[in-house]
Chain A
Amino acid sequence: MFFRSDNGVTIQLLVALIIALLANTISYAQQSEQSATLDVKPSTCVSLNQGRNCYAQLSITWSVQNIGDFCLIQKQSEQSQKILTCWKKSKGSAIYFEFESNESITYQLINNDKKPLAQATIDVSWVHKNSPRKRRWRLF
């Protein structure tokens, strides 16, 4: 019914095409989001005392289904996000660095439109909570 040669039919055809294209784009975006993976290892960093910086050799690996331009950003509580590194025409990579923080940090993979595709968090915890007493002990 769309293939009649009058103006009304042409408009209907164009609208259908646009809808189909949009649907395809949305579907592509959803597919990209769903297929993006971001893995942070280790997922937990434990320091000895509450409030102390925790150190870890961190590896972050990511992959997406389709090649594109992507960036890895670091999100810390009550701080503006910071871009760690970007890749052009890539569908996956890994970075390794020395993690150092006294609070949990979330890493996000974003695309060219700054849209988050995947995220992972490294939790910072501790063995001993803060004590109201400052104390050191003799060994023997």
Chain B
Amino acid sequence: MKISKVLFNVLLTPFFTLIFNKGKKIVKAAFVIILFLPLVCFSVEQKLDKETTVFDQTFSWQAMLGFSIYSNQNPLNGVEQESLFDFMSLSIMIDLYYKGFFIQSNHRRSNALAQGAEIGYQLFVENDHSLDVMFKTYIVGYQPKNLIENKNQDIPTLSGLKDREPAEAIAIRYSHFNEDTILSMDFANLTHISETNGWLIDFYFNELFQYKNWDIYFGGGITYYSKQVMNYYYGVKEHEVVIARPYYKPSNGYKASLEVYAQYPISKQWSFNTGLAQNYYSSSINNSPIIDKQHTTHLFFGVLYVF
């Protein structure tokens, strides 16, 4: 019980640090934390027995190293993969689980730590559904200056544009499980956590098909962004207006995706993985002067090493 509380504090430390660094929003942020605290503490008290009855273990960890070669279309106008290193990725993935607390990285993404890592607590879990509260980066953000430097050529639509910081959020996730399928819904609140206010809702469906030793996953999802989120990432503010980049204030928007991912074991430590994803962006995103692709395709081949 004491260990749970210690871990609880350790896991919540990044939240506090992040939020209190924001300075101006201390009072509001503290209110958010206070709102979550009773809920999390209550679940710590109530669900420990459930954890041990559902699973054989109360603690688990996994560390992986991934290397992949990928083709990644960027919807931003003029941004493309340029050098050989832009097509390669090396990433470390760490998963920890202790009595409901979890840190999990995105096993599919090459930039797993930058986007997709989730820190949270499992509020309740049953065989066919669960509810989590967590902290996650939903949009990776970008620095126009770095993108232009990487290209060694000016990108008029990005030149002079202010950095778009990552969309970090506290989210509630509901997941429903069947034998080989998962349906999850995230409601994420960016207010007080990120540079922008607003919220997003993320639906995701994934089904596993097994063929011999292959795991083949088919998935699809849709992420709905609020006006404030859209305006921060895809809008052009008055002070950012230039000839190539007119003023733009978008309404709500969404991104839809379809994907297939396959994994095959090579040895006890190594596995091969490959994935293909197609994203579609709503008109309110596509109409932005800084965006020039409504569809993007992503493809990768890689290997994973499990420690």
CB <8 Å contact, B277 and A127: no
Minimal beta-carbon separation of B89 from chain A (angstroms): 12
CB <8 Å contact, B279 and A140: yes
Minimal beta-carbon separation of A27 from chain B (angstroms): 43
Among the listed A130, A134, A137, which residue makes an inter-chain contact with B106, where contact means beta carbons less than 8 Å apart? A137
> Using a CB-CB cutoff of 8 Å, which residues 107-140 of chain A contact chain B?
125-140
Q: Which residues of A contact B42 (CB under 8 A)?
A: none
Q: Determine chain B's interface SS by DSSP, over half rule.
A: strand
Q: Given A47-B265, A48-B271, A126-B268, decide whether A136 and B217 contact each other with a Cβ distance below 8 A.
A: yes
Q: Which residues of A contact B271 (CB under 8 A)?
A: 48, 127
Q: Which residues of B contact A44 (CB under 8 A)?
A: 268
Among the listed B95, B175, B204, B257, which residue makes an inter-chain contact with A140, where contact means beta carbons less than 8 Å apart? B257
CB <8 Å contact, A138 and B60: no
- Which residues in B have some Cβ–Cβ distance to A below 8 Å? 51, 54-58, 60, 62, 72, 95, 97, 102, 104, 106-109, 116, 122, 130, 175, 177, 182, 184, 204, 206, 210, 212-213, 215, 217, 219, 221, 257, 259, 261, 263-271, 275-277, 279, 296, 298, 300, 304, 306
Q: Determine chain A's interface SS by DSSP, over half rule.
A: loop
CB <8 Å contact, A133 and B97: yes
A71 adjacent to chain B (CB < 8 Å): no
Minimal beta-carbon separation of B114 from chain A (angstroms): 12
- Which residues in A have some Cβ–Cβ distance to B below 8 Å? 44, 46-49, 52, 54-55, 125-140
Minimal beta-carbon separation of A118 from chain B (angstroms): 26
Q: Which residues of B contact A131 (CB under 8 A)?
A: 60, 62, 95, 97
Give the nearest-CB partner of B221 in chain A.
A138
CB <8 Å contact, B269 and A127: yes
Could you give 30 example pairs across A and B, Cβ below 8 Å?
A: A46-B265, A48-B213, A48-B215, A48-B264, A49-B215, A55-B212, A127-B267, A127-B269, A127-B270, A127-B304, A127-B306, A129-B60, A131-B60, A131-B62, A132-B57, A132-B60, A132-B97, A133-B95, A133-B122, A134-B130, A135-B182, A136-B184, A136-B217, A137-B109, A138-B106, A138-B116, A139-B257, A140-B109, A140-B279, A140-B298
In the complex, what distance in Å separates the CA atom of A43 from the CA atom of B62?
26
Query: Which of A126, A133, A139 has the largest count of B CB atoms less than 10 A from its CB?
Result: A139
Give the nearest-CB partner of A55 in chain B.
B212
Give the nearest-CB partner of A135 in chain B.
B104
CB <8 Å contact, B219 and A136: yes
Q: Which residues of B contact A48 (CB under 8 A)?
A: 213, 215, 263-265, 271
CB <8 Å contact, B217 and A128: no
In the complex, what distance in Å separates the CA atom of A135 from the CA atom of B275?
17
Minimal beta-carbon separation of A77 from chain B (angstroms): 18
CB <8 Å contact, B177 and A134: yes
Give the nearest-CB partner of B267 in chain A.
A46
CB <8 Å contact, A133 and B102: yes
Minimal beta-carbon separation of B158 from chain A (angstroms): 21
